[in-house]
Amino acid sequence: MFLSALELRNIIESSFLPKRCLCTLTPDLSMTVKVFANGETDHLDLMVSGINAQRLNSCREIHELIAELRSDMRNQASVQLLHLNRAAP
């Protein structure tokens, strides 16, 4: 990892603004990213754990991770919308 844990967290967390994002790293560099619906609630839009932060050795790899997380968040929102539409009378 070419960045400090604090720098990496800041990059990832700020990439989801204006949503609130919390990124945590364990001592073995396993990362968990939580993206909340807004700054006022604890409703999760996305939670991914077990991310290997050791593989984040370049700006490109960090960018790819963020793009993947955003894609996961969009896909999850689409699935939730589909379920809501099916449940509506």
In this prediction, residue 41 carries a pLDDT of: 74
In this prediction, residue 75 carries a pLDDT of: 87
Tokens, residue 58:
């370049």
In this prediction, residue 35 carries a pLDDT of: 94
In this prediction, residue 53 carries a pLDDT of: 94
Per-residue pLDDT of 2-60, as tens digits, reads 688 899 999 999 999 999 999 999 999 999 999 998 767 788 889 999 999 999 989 99
In this prediction, residue 24 carries a pLDDT of: 95
Q: Is pTM beyond 0.85 here?
A: no
Q: Once rounded to an integer, what is the mean pLDDT over residues 70-88? A: 69
More confident site: 79 or 44:
44
Pairwise CA distance, residues 60 & 56, whole Å: 8
How many CB atoms neighbour CB 47 within 10 A?
A: 13
